[in-house]
Amino acid sequence: MSGPARTAIVTGAGSGIGLATAVRLAADGYAAALVDIDERGLDKAAAAVDEAGGQSLVYVHDLADGEGFAGVADDVAGRRPAIDLLVNNAGVGVRASLTETTTEQWDRTIAVNLTAMFHTCRTVLGHMLRAGHGVIVNVSSVAGVVGVAERAAYCASKAGVVGLTRAIAADYAARGIRANAICPGTVATEWIDRILSGAEDPEGARAAMERRQLDGRMGSPEEVAAGIAFLADDSARFVNGTAFVMDGGMTAV
């Protein structure tokens, strides 16, 4: 496939931060391999990427099947000159304190948010190392650097993402690989909408979430996508192994 010189794989690309990132990268000159379990969302993302001037490759895949991701990466590598960028965005969450968290909820959260990243990073690293270059951006959360009430499994998984990312940077920086974690605060996505819809007082819960940021608003997926695009860019090549916080000042006070 001809077209954009660079190629990115974006997981969780069917909505929210993943969709915004895929569109931003397309505008920046990437072909985008879009991975999600949501086929309808992927159709929307592919159309948006193509409209932004990029080229889309679509893969309906459940990242809980970590070993199966190798087939996705191999297909991308066979159709593009190289895999230049991996953006690990797919994730799940559960609202529960530790004693309220079931074993099933814990296992699912760790499997999707952390173990899946282990598989995607390990798989794509093989391709990047053969090419001699590559960038990995793992979407963590402010919940990966500070504690958040009623998010025990989520906090644990996102802290693990930060640790995994730093270990990748330590192991592979000398071989042309950069790896950074981005840690967004509260971002107005479909996932937040679902959380709020289950609250006793949705409007009150929304206001409380907005107050957590110093400027009194949630971030947008496009703002986080801009942060990811920066970390992916050559201008950020001195940025490696960091937890890049974008939270509207949530963790500053």
Give 178-188 pLDDT, tens digit per residue: 999 999 998 87
Please provide the average confidence, as pLDDT, over all residues in the chain. Answer: 93
Q: What's residue 200's pLDDT? A: 80
Residue 51 sits at φ, ψ, to 5 deg, of -65, -30
Identify the pLDDT of residue 188: 78
Has residue 2 got a pLDDT over 70? no
Give Cα separations from 156 to 131, 146, 151, 192 (angstroms): 33, 10, 8, 19
DSSP-derived letter for residue 12 is T
Confidence check: pLDDT of 142 > 90: yes
Quick one: pLDDT band at residue 111, thresholds 50, 70, 90?
very high
Q: What is the pLDDT of residue 239?
A: 98
Distance of CA 99 to the CA centre of its chain: 28
Cα–Cα separations (whole angstroms), residue 39 to 55, 111, 173: 17, 21, 35
Catalytic residue, chosen from 30, 59, 154, 172, is 154
In which residue are the tokens 């679902």 written?
A: 194
Phi, psi of 141, rounded to the nearest 5 degrees = -175, 160
Supply 31's token pair: 């072909």
Convert the pLDDT of each residue in 147-189 to its tens digit: 998 899 999 999 999 999 999 999 999 999 999 999 999 887 7
State the CATH architecture for 6-184+222-246: 3-Layer(aba) Sandwich (3.40)
- Annotated catalytic residue 154: yes
Question: In DSSP terms, which residues pair with 184 in a beta bridge?
Answer: 246
pLDDT recorded at residue 181: 98
Tokens found for residue 76:
């991308």
* pLDDT tens per residue across span 213-244: 888 888 899 999 999 999 999 999 999 999 99
Encoded amino acid at 128, one letter: M
pLDDT digits (tens, 9 = 90+) for 54-95: 999 999 999 988 889 999 999 999 999 999 999 999 989 888
Dump strand ranges (E) for the chain.
Answer: 6-11, 30-36, 55-60, 85-88, 134-139, 177-184, 243-246
Domain ranges in the chain are: 6-184+222-246, 189-218
Decide if 22 contacts 47 (C-beta within 8 A): no
- Confidence class for position 1, pLDDT limits 50, 70, 90: very low
Confidence of residue 211 (pLDDT cuts 50, 70, 90): confident
Give the mean pLDDT of 20-36: 97
Taking the whole predicted model, whether its pTM rises above 0.85 is answered as yes
Question: According to the model, what pLDDT value does residue 131 have?
Answer: 96
Q: Are 142 and 204 in contact (CB under 8 A)?
A: no
Residue 52: predicted pLDDT: 94
The pLDDT value given to residue 247: 94
The residue among 16, 62, 6, 21 whose CA lies nearest residue 39 is: 62
Q: What is the mean pLDDT of residues 32-39?
A: 97
| pLDDT > 80? residue 199 | no
Q: For residue 7, what pLDDT is reported?
A: 98
Dihedral angle computed from the Cα positions of residues 200, 92, 20 and 131, in that order, rounded to the nearest 10 degrees? 170
Q: CA–CA distance from 236 to each of 201, 227, 232 (Å)? A: 42, 11, 7
